[in-house]
Amino acid sequence: SVGAVALDAQGRTAVALSTGGITGKLPGRLGDSALPGCGFYADDNVGTVCCTGHGEMIMRAALAQRIISAISRGERPQKACQEGLDFMRLRLDGYGGVIAISASGGIGLSFSAFRMPWAYRTTDELHYGIEKGD
């Protein structure tokens, strides 16, 4: 799957994502990408989150809602993303990745899967990576 989160100059947040699912999936299978609170969420008062990975595990963990709730309790986005992925891995043996921006402009970017290509753009910067530690 592919996804994007954004915060514009007026402080509005938005998230978009799209996926072809899993190779060999049963016809009719829907993943987390179409479900608010599982694959994605956006609330100008808190921030915006976009998840990717094992769709079934992300749905069962309600991963986006879990991360948004942590950020609304004052958690930093990076830590909230990491803790959400740890929960999914330890509780459901599920792997994936998350990108997030909080309403105050904090960044969260984490993944427990093997690799996740990402890129982060502001007015004067462009960062990108694919391995852990990039």
Partner 1 sequence: TKPMLIVHAGASKIPDELCMAYLRGVREAANSGFIAMMESKSARDGVEAAVMAMENNPLFFAGTGGALNLEGKVECDAAIMEGRTMKAGAVGGVKTVRNPIRAARMVMDKSDHVLLVGEGAEKFAARNGLPAVDNSNLITEYALKNFKKNQVFNRSIHNSYSAWYQRFCPIQNPCCCLSSLFRRSIRMKLYIKTHFPHLSDRASSKEVTSKTDLKRICSTPAMDGSCD
* Closer to partner 1 by Cβ: residue 34 or 79: 34
| Minimum distance of partner 1 from residue 40's CB (angstroms) | 6
The strand order across the sheet containing 107-111 reads 40-43, 47-53, 96-102, 107-111
Compute how many other C-beta atoms are within 10 angstroms of the C-beta atom of residue 131: 10
| Minimum distance of partner 1 from residue 28's CB (angstroms) | 6
| Minimum distance of partner 1 from residue 92's CB (angstroms) | 13
Instruction: Give residue 40's Cα distance to chain centre.
Output: 7
* Closer to partner 1 by Cβ: residue 79 or 103: 103
* Closer to partner 1 by Cβ: residue 19 or 69: 19
Euclidean distance between CA atoms 91 and 40, whole angstroms = 20
